[in-house]
């Protein structure tokens, strides 16, 4: 595996299969995401988008297949999972902020307990991350005192602060009131502009057209179609993609 | 090892003690049969008073409940059994036990019923009243059934506590199960009768403890 | 009325035995504090152990918690106090009382904290693990603080109920409030020491009972 850093994909998924019991949910996913690329994942409910994303952080254990982060194996035995997970940031649909900690506490927890940074050092990094998502003034607030959009931005800061190699977003805006979606998308735009590699599951088509480098359409646990946003969203070649998109344009 | 078996699991001593213990168990159940319904009724009344409109009524109910939640039941029992005779009021052990446990348990039942009543949305009572039910009918047919269902695990676990509480009656020599067991222990110098009593308590209460766990999980999930 | 005062509030008797009841109060307080600290500590530890879902260990914890929740504490106290010396373990009455009530409180605390752990949303574990926290770290820093917060009211109520049981020490001769009051009552042939004991218990425990009422209101479950 003597590949140069330029050609090594930042995230590589090979022949990923996942079954829950006897129910196959992922049936062979191959995907490679280049450095600084933003890949958008579309697909009907139950097509396996979340499962694929969660496998990339091993919140779900793949049934078979391999996943690499910058050429380093994430799957299989003998992997230092907690160290690898810090290279894969995850943003959840339901935010999952820790309610007993302030925004600052949410962001510093892993810095202090996993990376063993001093409090001062961790808070400096966290302050920077909170600044990136525009919430410097909310650092001492608890999640309950923040709006949904603000909570999701804190969650992004929490992932961002660990300086991950790639970030995974699972429907980051679908739990938000419409008027709060824009703030979160703006933050994601900034994160991309800073060069982050991103894999995003979302139904924000406008955002996909404008910001994605590539769009993937999944159905029945497989990647059915992929390409530049204009092509997949504008001139899809597969019937299932067309049927799916028609519901959005209707 | 032998000593332990001899001391705690001596079948001979247990067999000897069993008839007396079963008689004691009868008394244990009798106390329960009196104290549980009375305590539940007293608790319900106190709960209604503590959620009443009238401020004086509300506060005296809360004072009653808190006083008896603060006072250890054994202190109450000793006070009634050993203290009142000095004032010329001599009660039988059974009467003393019943009164003490009634006061203690009314307080606990009251707290549970109160939580239950408060957990029923206001709209329920309003809906019932709007259909012409009297306040008393509303309470009996609408509020209480829901309140009771919402706190069923707590009610059951209070029943378990009462059965356990009856063991305190042994202190005033009322011949319930623990008293019987301790009597045999003191003449045989062997702890097996106590272990046997423990076994009978488990037989009685373990199913209830499991059942409560089942209820609690269902409500949480 | 005079007879009532003379029986329950006899000034002379009260004055004579107040110091002894005060001594008893100290014993009650020290025992209570120790029982609460070690009982809740042990119970929380067991609940955490159970979180690892190692079958035989969880099984033992459940059995332990079930038995000590189903047995009357007085039975356990008598077994420990009268049975153990015959197999060579001699413990003072106070130590027996402390150990038994600690174990009982731990059994209840384990169940209560465990309920808190299981009702913490799965997403909290996932968020913690996704940032690289190990299982133990996620448990200690993310899940446990939320679980404990959730169960503070029932835990407080149970702690009060079990520390009140220090009065059971009377049966094995612990010199706590009730023990000393009972001795005083038989010496003085007057009920005033018992009145004093009741007052002492109310002074000690009423603030906690009222506190628990306040806690319950504060932590009231939403949606009701
Ligand atoms: N833990 C699980 N146990 C069993 N089945 C599961 C589990 N998680 C997901 N599934 C099943 O796997 C399938 C794919 O689920 P997944 O959440 O990946 O879909 P999705 O594409 O993200 O859908 P949505 O758009 O609704 O979020 C579904 O049929 C779901 O029921
Ligand atoms: Mg999903």
pLDDT tens across A54-66, in order?
Answer: 999 999 999 999 9
Residues lining ion ligand 2 (Cβ < 5 A) are A 50
Residue A248 has a pLDDT of 74
User: CB of B73 within 8 A of CB of B169?
Assistant: no
pLDDT at residue B95 greater than cutoff 50: yes
Chain C interface mutation, best of A51, A61, A89, A98, highest count of C Cβ atoms under 10 Å: A98
User: CB of B196 within 8 A of CB of B121?
Assistant: no
Contact B67 C206 (CB under 8 A): yes
The reply to whether C152 touches chain A by the CB within 8 Å rule is no
Average pLDDT over residues B58-80: 95
Domain ranges of chain A: 11-246
CA angle C3, C9, C11 (to 5 degrees): 105
Residue B7 counted as domain residue: no
Residue of chain C with shortest Cα separation from A159: C131
A22: Cβ below 6 Å to ligand 1?
Answer: no
| Nearest CA, atom 29, ligand 1 | A46
Contact C209 B82 (CB under 8 A): no
Residue A3 has a pLDDT of 53
| Burial classification of residue A241, based on how many CB atoms lie within 10 Å of its CB (0-12 exposed, 13-18 middle, 19 or more buried) | buried
Chain B interface mutation, best of C1, C61, C69, highest count of B Cβ atoms under 10 Å: C69
The reply to whether C126 touches chain A by the CB within 8 Å rule is yes
The C-alpha atoms of residue B158 and residue C154 are separated, in whole angstroms, by 13
Chains A and C touch (3+ CB pairs under 8 A): yes
Identify which of A59, A82, A89 has the shortest CB distance to residue C133: A82
Residue C205 has a pLDDT of 95
Chains B and A touch (3+ CB pairs under 8 A): no
Q: Which domain holds residue B74?
A: 18-220
A43: Cβ below 6 Å to ligand 1?
Answer: yes
Sheet architecture: strand order including A72-73: A23-33, A11-20, A64-69, A72-73
Angular region, B132: left φ>0, alpha ψ -120 to 50, beta rest: left
Average pLDDT over residues C124-146: 96
> pLDDT tens, A156-199?
999 999 999 999 999 999 999 999 999 999 999 999 999 999 99
User: CB of C99 within 8 A of CB of C91?
Assistant: yes
Average pLDDT over residues C20-40: 96
Q: Answer with the residue of higher pLDDT: C221 or A219.
A: A219
Average pLDDT over residues B75-80: 94
Cα-Cα-Cα-Cα dihedral sign, residues B33, B39, B45, B51: negative
The reply to whether C135 touches chain A by the CB within 8 Å rule is no
Residue C137 has a pLDDT of 96
The reply to whether B69 touches chain C by the CB within 8 Å rule is yes
Residue C65 has a pLDDT of 96
* Separate counts of helices (H) and strands (E) for chain A: 9, 10
Average pLDDT over residues C134-163: 94
pLDDT at residue C52 greater than cutoff 80: yes
Average pLDDT over residues B215-220: 65
> pLDDT tens, B97-151?
999 999 999 999 999 999 999 999 988 888 888 877 888 889 998 999 999 999 9
Distance from CA of C209 to the nearest CA of A (A): 26
Q: Give me the long-range contacts of A41-45 (CB less than 8 A, separation at least 24).
A: A41/A199, A41/A200, A41/A201, A41/A202, A41/A215, A41/A216, A41/A218, A42/A201, A42/A203, A42/A208, A42/A215, A42/A216, A42/A217, A42/A218, A42/A232, A42/A244, A43/A217, A43/A218, A43/A219, A43/A244, A44/A219, A44/A244
Ligand 1 atom nearest to A221, measured from its CA: 14
User: Under an 8 Å CB criterion, which residues of A touch C?
Assistant: 57, 59, 82-83, 85-86, 88-90, 92, 94, 96-100, 109-110, 113-114, 155, 158-159, 162
Average pLDDT over residues C56-79: 96
The C-alpha atoms of residue C25 and residue C48 are separated, in whole angstroms, by 34
Identify which of B62, B72, B83 has the shortest CB distance to residue C164: B72
Number of Cβ within a 10 Å radius of residue B131: 10
Q: Which two tokens stand for residue C15?
A: 């004055």
Domains and CATH numbers, chain C: 15-220 (1.10.3720.10)
Residue B96 counted as domain residue: yes
> pLDDT tens, A82-113?
899 999 999 999 999 999 999 999 999 999 99
The reply to whether B127 touches chain C by the CB within 8 Å rule is no
B130 three-class SS: helix
Residue B126 has a pLDDT of 85
| Nearest CA, atom 17, ligand 1 | A50
Residue C11 has a pLDDT of 84
Report yes or no for ipTM above 0.95: no
pLDDT at residue C221 greater than cutoff 60: no
Number of CB pairs < 8 Å for A and C?
64
Q: How many domains does chain B have?
A: 1
| Nearest CA, atom 27, ligand 1 | A45
Identify which of C129, C141, C146 has the shortest CB distance to residue A109: C141
Percent of chain C surpassing pLDDT 90: 76
Residue B9 counted as domain residue: no
- The residue whose CB lies within 8 Å of the most ligand 1 atoms, and thus the one to mutate among A48, A55, A174, A218, is A48
Residue A7 has a pLDDT of 78
The C-alpha atoms of residue C33 and residue C37 are separated, in whole angstroms, by 6
Q: Which residue has the tokens 């390409």?
A: A227
Residue C6 has a pLDDT of 80
Residue A1 pLDDT class (50, 70, 90 cuts) = very low
Going by the DSSP 8-state scheme, the letter that residue B171 receives in this structure is G
Task: Name the neighbours of B, counting chains with at least 3 Cβ pairs within 8 A.
Answer: C
Q: What is the CA radius of gyration of chain A?
A: 18
Residue C1 has a pLDDT of 66
pLDDT at residue A249 greater than cutoff 90: no
Residue C170 has a pLDDT of 93
pLDDT at residue C224 greater than cutoff 50: no
Q: Answer with the residue of higher pLDDT: B4 or B192.
A: B192
Q: Which residue has the tokens 């001594």?
A: C23
The reply to whether B143 touches chain C by the CB within 8 Å rule is no
Ligand 1 atom nearest to A44, measured from its CA: 25
List the CATH number of the domain containing B125. 1.10.3720.10
pLDDT at residue B221 greater than cutoff 70: no
The reply to whether B3 touches chain C by the CB within 8 Å rule is yes
Cα–Cα nearest to B166, from C122, A169, C74: C74
**What superfamily in CATH does domain A11-246 come from?**
P-loop containing nucleotide triphosphate hydrolases (3.40.50.300)
Average pLDDT over residues A105-127: 95
What pTM, to 2 d.p., does this model score? 0.89
Q: Which residues contact B139 (CB under 8 A, 6 or more apart)?
A: B48
Q: How far is the CA of A52 from the centre of ligand 1 (A)?
A: 10
pLDDT at residue C223 greater than cutoff 80: no
Q: For chain B, positions 195-214, list CB contacts with chain C under 8 A.
A: 195, 197-198, 201-202, 205-206, 208-210, 213
Residue of chain A with shortest Cα separation from C125: A96
Residue C217 has a pLDDT of 81
Residue B156 counted as domain residue: yes
Contact C213 B201 (CB under 8 A): no
Distances (CA, A) of A48 to A31, A52, A107: 14, 6, 29
Q: What is the CA radius of gyration of chain C?
A: 21
Average pLDDT over residues C108-122: 95
CA C139 to chain centre: 25
Contact A98 C127 (CB under 8 A): yes
Residue C128: list chain A partners with CB under 8 A. Answer: 98, 109-110
Q: What is the mean pLDDT of chain B?
A: 91
């Amino acid at each position: 595996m003597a590949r140069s850093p330029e050609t090594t994909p930042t995230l590589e998924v090979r022949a990923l299969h996942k079954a829950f019991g006897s129910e196959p949910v992922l049936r062979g996913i191959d995907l490679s995401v280049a450095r600084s690329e933003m890949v958008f994942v579309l697909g009907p409910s139950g097509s396996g988008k979340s499962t694929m994303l969660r496998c990339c952080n091993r919140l779900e254990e793949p049934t078979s297949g391999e996943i690499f982060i910058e050429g380093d194996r994430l799957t299989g035995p003998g992997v230092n999972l907690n160290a690898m997970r810090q290279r894969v940031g995850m943003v959840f649909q339901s935010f999952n902020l820790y309610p007993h900690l302030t925004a600052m506490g949410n962001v510093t927890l892993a810095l202090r307990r996993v990376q063993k940074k001093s409090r001062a050092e961790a808070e400096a990094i966290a302050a920077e991350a909170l600044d990136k998502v525009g919430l410097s003034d909310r650092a001492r607030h608890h999640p309950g005192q923040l709006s949904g959009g603000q909570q999701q931005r804190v969650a992004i800061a929490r992932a961002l602060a660990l300086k991950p190699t790639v970030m995974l977003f699972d429907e980051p805006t679908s739990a938000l009131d419409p008027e709060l979606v824009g703030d979160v998308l703006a933050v994601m735009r900034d994160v991309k502009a800073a060069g982050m590699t991103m894999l995003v599951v979302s139904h924000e088509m406008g955002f996909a057209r404008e910001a994605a480098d590539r769009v993937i359409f999944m159905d029945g646990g497989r990647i059915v179609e992929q390409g530049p946003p204009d092509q997949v969203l504008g001139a899809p070649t597969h019937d299932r993609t067309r049927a799916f998109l028609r519901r959005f344009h209707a | 090892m032998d000593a332990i078996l001899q001391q705690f699991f001596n079948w001979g001593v247990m067999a000897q003690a069993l008839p007396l213990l079963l008689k004691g168990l009868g008394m244990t159940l009798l106390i329960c049969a009196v104290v549980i319904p009375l305590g539940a009724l007293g608790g319900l009344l106190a709960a209604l008073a503590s959620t009443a409109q009238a401020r004086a009524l509300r506060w005296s109910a809360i004072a009653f409940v808190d006083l008896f939640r603060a006072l250890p039941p054994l202190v109450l029992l000793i006070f009634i059994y050993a203290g009142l005779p000095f004032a010329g009021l001599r009660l039988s052990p059974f009467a003393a036990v019943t009164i003490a446990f009634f006061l203690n348990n009314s307080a606990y039942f009251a707290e549970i019923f109160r939580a239950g009543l408060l957990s029923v949305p206001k709209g329920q009572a309003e809906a019932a009243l709007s259909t012409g039910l009297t306040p008393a009918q509303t309470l009996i047919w609408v509020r209480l059934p829901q309140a009771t269902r919402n706190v069923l695990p707590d009610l059951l676990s209070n029943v378990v506590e009462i059965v356990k509480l009856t063991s305190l009656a042994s202190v005033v020599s009322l011949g319930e199960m623990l008293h019987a067991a301790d009597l045999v222990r003191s003449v045989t110098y062997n702890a097996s009768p106590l272990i046997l009593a423990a076994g009978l308590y488990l037989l009685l209460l373990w199913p209830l403890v499991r059942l409560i766990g089942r209820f609690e999980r269902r409500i949480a999930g | 009325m005079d007879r009532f005062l003379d029986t329950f509030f006899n000034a002379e008797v009260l004055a004579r035995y107040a110091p002894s009841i005060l001594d008893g109060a100290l014993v009650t307080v020290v025992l209570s504090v120790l029982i609460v600290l070690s009982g809740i500590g042990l119970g929380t530890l067991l609940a955490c152990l159970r979180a690892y879902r190692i079958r035989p260990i969880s099984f033992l914890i459940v059995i332990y918690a079930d038995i000590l929740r189903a047995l009357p504490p007085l039975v356990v106290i008598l077994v420990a106090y009268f049975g153990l010396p015959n197999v060579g373990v001699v413990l003072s009455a106070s130590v027996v009382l402390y150990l038994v009530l600690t174990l009982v409180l731990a059994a209840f605390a384990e169940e209560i904290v465990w309920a808190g752990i299981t009702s913490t949303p799965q997403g909290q574990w996932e968020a913690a693990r996704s940032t690289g926290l190990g299982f133990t770290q996620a448990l200690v820093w993310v899940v446990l603080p939320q679980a404990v917060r959730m169960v503070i009211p029932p835990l407080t109520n149970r702690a009060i109920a079990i520390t009140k049981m220090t009065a059971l020490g009377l049966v094995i001769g612990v010199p706590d409030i009730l023990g000393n009051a009972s001795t005083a009552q038989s010496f003085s042939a007057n009920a005033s020491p018992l009145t004093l004991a009741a007052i002492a218990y109310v002074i000690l425990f009423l603030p906690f009972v009222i506190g628990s009422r306040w806690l319950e209101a504060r932590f009231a479950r939403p949606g009701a």
